[in-house]
Amino acid sequence: MRGRPKQQTTLFSLRTPGDRVPAGHPLRRVKDMADAALAALSPTFDEMYSGTGRPSIPPEHLLKSCLLMAFYSVRS
């Protein structure tokens, strides 16, 4: 079963991760583009997952985390 995204509440900090990224940072544009592309793929993801069983990690979260790892593993 496909998991649904849920916003994690803050545990030890009063700031969200989005508050820590400056407004003009290039990652914000990349996030917007990735969100748009993954929203277009959402119906495909729905067809791939079964309607029964335990919920999985949403594929959008997995793909965006892989994208961040790729960006931060490139040396400047």
Distance CA 6, CA 58 (A): 10
pLDDT digits (tens, 9 = 90+) for 19-42: 888 989 988 999 899 999 999 999
Distance CA 70, CA 26 (A): 15
Give the global pTM: 0.72
DSSP-derived secondary structure letter, 69: H
pLDDT digits (tens, 9 = 90+) for 41-74: 999 988 888 888 888 888 888 999 999 899 888 8
| 71 three-state secondary structure | helix
pLDDT digits (tens, 9 = 90+) for 2-11: 777 666 665 6
